[in-house]
Amino acid sequence: MRYAVYFTPAADDPLTDAASRWLGRNAFSLEEGERPDGLPFPAAQWTSLVAEPRRYGFHATLKAPFELNTKRSEDELLAAFDDFCAHTPSFQIPKVVIGQLGSFFALVPYLLHPPLQDFAAAVVETFESFRAPLSEADIARRRPERLTEAQRGNLMRWGYPYVMDEFRFHMTLTGPVEPGLAPLVRETLEERFAAFIKAPLPISGLALFVEPERGAPFNVCRWKPLDRQASA
Summarised one tens digit per residue, pLDDT across range 17-64 is 999 999 999 999 988 888 888 899 998 999 999 999 999 999 999 999
Which pLDDT value is given to residue 33? 85
Q: At CA 53, angle to CA 48 and CA 55, rounded to 5?
A: 95
What pLDDT was estimated at residue 53?
96
Residue 226, pLDDT above cutoff 70: yes
**Nearest to 119, CA basis, from 229, 1, 227:** 227
Confidence of residue 230 (pLDDT cuts 50, 70, 90): low
Number of domains in the chain: 1
Cα 12-14-18 angle, rounded to 5 deg: 115
> Do 207 and 81 contact (CB within 8 A), yes or no?
no
pLDDT category at 232 given cuts 50, 70, 90 is very low
The set of long-range contacts for 52-56, using a CB threshold of 8 Å and a minimum separation of 24, is 52/172, 52/174, 52/175, 53/23, 53/172, 53/173, 53/174, 53/175, 54/23, 54/24, 54/25, 54/217, 55/217, 55/218, 56/27, 56/172, 56/209, 56/217, 56/218
Residue 116 has pLDDT above 80, yes or no: yes
- One-letter amino acid at 108 equals V
Which amino acid belongs to residue 30? Answer: L
Q: Where residue 134 sits, what CATH number does that domain have?
A: 3.90.1140.10
- Name the average pLDDT for the chain: 95
* CA pair distance 75, 55, nearest whole angstrom: 25
What pLDDT is stored for residue 38 in this prediction? 87
User: Torsions phi, psi of 40, nearest 5?
Assistant: -85, 20
The domain containing residue 42 runs over which residues? 2-231
pLDDT tens readout for residues 59-100: 999 999 999 999 999 999 999 999 999 999 999 999 999 999
